């Protein structure tokens, strides 16, 4: 009896390990497809990109694609959501220990520029969303704005920033970051110059800091 119990336990452990390995391999394959999709969509655009090109780039069989995504539209949507989530998480983590909202803005801008340097294709992908899925396009920016608005409201309530409409300020900040990133990281393939970042932050802060 004890031997049977021992054998059952061993079989259960092996089964768990096998399932875990399959899960790990499955997630790795899914990430390969998303990484490939980021490059293919970013370089060719949504309409010219194909599932065949994505699977070839990922190094997986075409049939494997459909185990993870139902269509080209679905992998595009998942890619947009994942990039959005990753960027917001990186910024949130980087500013979690800051002592002021001003410091959070300075660090947040830097993290954003570093992220798009690593994911340059994000710009073209985001520009295409509005023509592929307008609701997803609105969602992409709304997700950024909601967290931004919450942080700005806290800063205004604490007297760190003077009171202005937080939604307007949030979208204005997002616009500044996006266009500076486009100007330098995307077009020039360079880091945003310190002088440029300092100028932008000075312009922003002098507009929102409390009047003395």
pLDDT digits (tens, 9 = 90+) for 2-29: 455 455 555 555 554 444 435 778 889 9
For tokens 């998942």, name the residue: 78
In whole angstroms, give the CA distance from residue 29 to residue 129. Answer: 24
Q: Are 178 and 116 in contact (CB under 8 A)?
A: no
Domains of the chain: 1-69 (1.10.10.60), 72-212 (1.10.357.10)
The residue that leads in pLDDT, 54 or 6, is: 54
Q: What phi, psi does 128 have (nearest 5°)?
A: -80, -20
Q: How much is the pTM? A: 0.85
Give residue 178's pLDDT.
95
Read off the pLDDT of residues 152-206 as tens digits, 9 standing for 90 and up: 999 999 999 999 999 999 999 999 999 999 999 999 999 999 999 999 999 989 8
Give residue 212's pLDDT.
65
Read off the pLDDT of residues 115-136 as tens digits, 9 standing for 90 and up: 999 999 999 999 899 999 999 9
User: If DSSP codes are grouped into helix, strand and coil, which group holds residue 32?
Assistant: helix
Give the count of beta carbons closer than 10 Å to the beta carbon of residue 156: 19
Q: What is the mean pLDDT of the chain?
A: 89
Q: What is the mean pLDDT of residues 128-149?
A: 95
Give residue 136's pLDDT.
97
Model confidence at 72, pLDDT cuts 50, 70, 90, reads very high
């Amino acid at each position: 009896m004890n031997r049977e119990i021992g054998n059952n336990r061993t079989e259960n452990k092996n089964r768990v390990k096998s399932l875990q390995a399959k899960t790990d391999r499955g997630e790795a394959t899914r990430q390969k497809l998303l990484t490939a999709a980021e490059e293919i969509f970013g370089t060719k655009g949504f309409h010219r990109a194909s599932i065949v090109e994505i699977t070839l780039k990922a190094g997986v069989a075409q049939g494997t694609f459909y185990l993870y995504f139902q269509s080209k539209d679905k992998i595009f949507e998942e890619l947009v959501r994942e990039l959005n989530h990753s960027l917001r998480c990186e910024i949130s983590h980087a500013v979690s220990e800051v002592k002021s909202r001003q410091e959070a803005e300075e660090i947040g801008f830097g993290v954003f520029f570093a992220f798009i340097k690593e994911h340059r294709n994000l710009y073209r992908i985001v520009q295409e969303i509005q023509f592929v899925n307008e609701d997803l396009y609105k969602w992409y920016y709304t997700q950024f704005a909601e967290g931004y608005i919450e942080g700005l409201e806290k800063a205004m309530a604490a007297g760190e920033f003077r009171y202005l409409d937080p939604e307007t300020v949030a979208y204005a900040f997002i616009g500044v970051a996006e266009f500076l990133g486009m100007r330098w990281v995307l077009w020039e393939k360079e880091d945003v110059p310190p002088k440029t970042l300092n100028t932008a932050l000075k312009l922003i802060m002098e507009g929102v800091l409390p009047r003395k």
